[in-house]
Amino acid sequence: MADAEARKPLWHADFLKVVLADFLVCASLYMFLPVAPSLVWEAAGGRGLWAAAAAFVAGMCLVGPFCNYGLDTYRRKSVALWGVAGMVAATALCFWDGGVWVFCAARLLQGGAYGVFQIAVGGTLLLDLSDSRKRTEAAHVYYWFTRLALVLGPLAGLVVARGYGLRFFAFGSLALCLCAGVLLWTLRVPFRAPLEPSLWSSDRFWLSRGLRLFVPLVAVAFSAGLMLGRCGGAGFYLSLGVGFWLALCLHVLLFGPHLQRELAAGYALLLLAFLLYSWEEASGSGAGWAAGCLGCGLGLVSSRYLLSCIRICAHCERATAQNTYLLAWESGLLAGYSVAAVPLKNLDESSMATGAAVVAAAGIFHGLCVRRWYAAHKRK
C-alpha cells in the first residue's frame, strides 16, 4: 500500500486546485501592496499605514490559536471556504469610504481571514491531499506559487489601479478570491471524523522551537519589503520574477542537498542586491539587476528556511511548522514595505543601507546561532 501511495503522482487534479487557489488568494492580497499607501495616506499619513499593517498581522495572530479547534471540529473544506469568504468581505470593506479606522478594521479582518485560509489550505488540505512521502515536496511547490504571487499580484495592482482606477481594482481583487473559492468548492476531500480538541492551542499556529529560524527569516523578509516599497515599478517586479525562476533552477540543478551552501549564496545575493540598487540609483540606470538578485537571493533563502522549519518538527507538527514559516514571511514583508512607503526624513538615503545591515545581521545570526543548532536538532 505504501509503495502504491508513493507512486501516486504529486500533480493530481485536487493538488493543482489547492495550489492555484493559494496563488489566487495571495495575488489578491499582494495587489494591495502598491495601492494601500494611497488609500490611507491622505486620511492619516504614515501612522495610518503602519496601523493598517499592524492590524493585518494582528488578525493573523488572533485567529491562529483557534484554527486547530475549527479544523478538527468542522469540515476542513468548509473552514477554508469561510476563510475565502472573509477575504471577500474584508476586500470589499477596504474600499468603503469610512475613514482610516474602517480601513484598519478591514485589514484586521483580512489578516484573520487570510490566516484561516492558509492554516486550512496550506497546513491541512494540502497535507490531506498529498502522499505522505511527498508532503515536503508539496509544501515547496505550494510556497513557490506564493512567491510568484508576490510578482504578479503587485504588478497587476499597479497596472489595474493606474490604468482603470480603484473601482476596477476592487473588482479584480474580489474576482481572484471568488475564483479561489470556486476551486476549493470542487475539491474532493477525504472524510475525517470530528475530534474533541481544546478551543485554544498552538497546534497548526506556532512552533516554539522554530524561533531561531523565525528571527532571521523575518529579517530577510523585512529587508525584501524595504526594497519593494522603495521601488514598485512594473519592470522591477518582472526582474524580481526572473530572479525567482533563477533561484528555482539553481536549487534543482546546483545546490540540491547542500542546504548551508544555498543559504550562504542566498545571503550573498541579497547583499549584492542592495549594493546594486544603491549603485543603479546613483547612476540613474534603473534597478533591474538589483531586483533580479533580490528575487534569486530571496528564493534561495526562504525556500531553505521552509525546509529547515519542516525538518525540526515532529511528524504531527508539519502544519505548525509551515504556518510559523508563513508568519515570519508575511509579517516581515509587510513591516518592511510599510516602513519604506512612509517618506521620513533621510529615509531615501539610509533605507538601502538599513536593508543591507539587516541582511548582514541575519546572516551573522544564522552562522552563530542557527547553523550548529539546526544540525543538532533536525529530525528528517
Q: How many CB atoms lie within 10 A of CB 250?
A: 18
Do 217 and 306 touch, CB atoms closer than 8 A? no
Q: Give the residue from 103, 116, 212 showing the smallest Cα distance to 166.
A: 103
Q: Give the residue from 251, 288, 255, 256 showing the smallest Cα distance to 273.
A: 288
pLDDT at residue number 2: 44
SS3 (DSSP) at 128: helix
Encoded amino acid at 255, one letter: F
Q: At 173, which helix (H) or strand (E)? A: helix 166-185
Residue with cell 495575488: 27
> Which parts of the chain register pLDDT below 50?
1-6, 282, 345
Encoded amino acid at 43, one letter: A
Q: How far apart are CA 356 and CA 70, in angstroms?
A: 41
Count of residues for the chain?
Answer: 380
pLDDT at residue number 5: 47
Do 303 and 140 touch, CB atoms closer than 8 A? yes
pLDDT at residue number 277: 85
In degrees rounded to 5, what are phi and psi of residue 35?
Answer: -100, -35
Q: How far apart are CA 121 and CA 144, in angstroms?
A: 15
Q: Is the pTM of this model over 0.85?
A: yes
Q: How far apart are CA 61 and CA 205, in angstroms?
A: 8
pLDDT at residue number 256: 77
Residue 188 exposed, middle or buried by CB count within 10 Å (0-12, 13-18, 19+): exposed
Residue 195 exposed, middle or buried by CB count within 10 Å (0-12, 13-18, 19+): exposed
How far CA 272 is from CA of 213, 220, 234, in Å, comes to: 22, 13, 21
How far CA 358 is from CA of 191, 220, 261, 288, 354, in Å, comes to: 46, 7, 20, 22, 6
Q: Considering Cα of 42, then 46, then 47, then 49, what sign does the dihedral take?
A: positive
SS3 (DSSP) at 265: helix
Q: How far apart are CA 340 and CA 360, in angstroms?
A: 19
Q: How far apart are CA 314 and CA 321, in angstroms?
A: 9
Q: Give the residue from 332, 330, 156 showing the smallest Cα distance to 238.
A: 156
pLDDT at residue number 366: 95
pLDDT at residue number 120: 95
Q: How far apart are CA 258 and CA 253, in angstroms?
A: 11
- Per-residue pLDDT of 45-81, as tens digits, reads 566 778 888 999 999 999 999 999 999 889 999 999 9
Encoded amino acid at 181, one letter: G
